[in-house]
Amino acid sequence: MKAMLLPETEKQVPFLSVCIVTRGRPALLRECLEIVINGQSLSREHYDVIVSDDDPEHSAKKVVEEFAGVTWVSGPARGVAANRNKVVGQSRGEWIVFVDDDELPEPNWLAEVHKAALSGQWDVIEGVVQPTDYPDSIFWYAPTVESPGLFCTANLAIRRDTFVALGGFDEQFAISHEDMDLGRRIRNAGVPTTFLPKAVVKHPARRQKLKTIFTRTVQQQYQTYRLLHPTSRGAMSGIGAAVRLSQWTMVYLFRCTRINAAVAGWQKWRSFCLESGIRVLCAPIAAMRIWHGERDVPGNETENRGS
């Protein structure tokens, strides 16, 4: 990744580059940019905004042109991880700040991130992701981050030098889980991280079709299993791997239920029960993907995540 680094004289006060990837969601992107550009308490002199557009129709370009000082670049069309690497490569800040195109940051979001970066204590900064308008139904989806350790790119800042040293995003994760893989490497490297409860972005829940629910569930199991075997190709194919995934699904089921209950309590018990049943039903499909050694194919995303 080629980066336009700031001169050394300008690095006394951290400069943030807000990096957004998008594909085919111009209306959502416009809402996000309106808040990032015009709704932040942090002065614009301390940050810029770059949008990498993976839509072949370049649907984000006209939206970006509505906002002064926002840079539009054409995405690589190789999946979400490649698109995130592209937008970082086009940025110039000492700090990279990731937010998704369907997020709605609170007014003090960037100010809180900038204050933490200014302290010089941290290499990675996590923030809160709060779902809104989220009914107790499996037909609605929104990510939730209320505690540290998830390294979710819906609200994540990382020092540029650290990002480069870690190797950026693994572009094999073309559809999802690229942030979880980066988080694994952050933990393994032992870099200093912090979590900011006051750096909040809101994520309105999105309605999803039943087909999307099943496809997403297969994808989650498959990708999370891949994270456990990041270097072994042999572990990702063959009947032995398929059997191991089926066994591991039960552990995954328990972990997901525990995390959901910790975040939302048991108010959404109907969703928990239905999601658990779907995970069990989808395990054989995910196992078949692994048995045949399938890989991600950009463009087959169940949720548009900027790729």
User: What is the full DSSP assignment across 29-94?
Assistant: HHHHHHHHHHS-SS-GGGEEEEEEE--TT-TTHHHHTTSTTEEEEE--SS-HHHHHHHHHHT---S
Between the alpha carbon of residue 287 and those of residues 27, 181, 240, the distances in Å are: 37, 20, 10
The one-character DSSP state at 145 is: B
Of residues 295 and 197, more confidently modeled: 197
Which two tokens mark 26? 């111009």
Residues paired with residue 128 on neighbouring β-strands, in sequence order: 200
Average pLDDT in the 135-148 region? 81
C-alpha 50/C-alpha 40 separation (Å) is 16
Domain match, 186 and 230 both: no
DSSP bridge pairs for 131 = 203
190 and 233 part of one domain: no
pTM here is: 0.77
CA gap 63, 299 in Å, rounded: 22
**Number of domains forming the structure of the chain:** 2
pLDDT greater than 50 at residue 1: no
Same domain, 129 and 254: no
**Same domain (yes/no): 150, 259:** no
Contact indicator for 69, 44 with CB cutoff of 8 Å: yes
Instruction: With residue 259 as reference, give the H or E element that holds it.
Output: helix 239-264
Q: Is 174's pLDDT higher than 60? A: yes
Which is higher by pLDDT, 225 or 200? 200
Give the count of beta carbons closer than 10 Å to the beta carbon of residue 58: 14
Q: State the pLDDT at residue 238.
A: 57
- In a domain? residue 300: no
Indicate if 73 and 38 belong to the same structural domain: yes
Q: Could you list the residue range(s) of the whole structural domain that residue 64 is in?
A: 8-207
Cα distance between residue 64 and residue 73, in whole Å: 10
- Do 225 and 129 belong together in one domain? no
| Same-domain check for residues 70 and 218 | no
**11 — pLDDT class (breaks 50, 70, 90):** very low
Amino acid at 180: M
The tokens for 205 are: 């829940």
- Helix, strand, coil abundance in the chain, percent, nearest 5: 45, 20, 40
Type of residue at 131: P
Q: In this structure, are 86 and 231 located in the same domain?
A: no
Domain contains 307: no
CA dihedral for 27, 30, 32, 34, sign (positive or negative): negative
Q: How does strand 193-204 pair with strand 124-132? A: parallel
141: left (phi over 0), alpha (psi -120 to 50) or beta: beta
Burial of 175: CB neighbours in 10 Å, binned 0-12, 13-18, 19+: buried
Please tell me the least confidently modeled range out of 26-40, 174-188, 195-209.
Answer: 174-188
Residue that is last in its domain, among 207, 232, 266: 207
Residue 236 domain flag: yes
Q: Do 180 and 232 fall within a single domain?
A: no
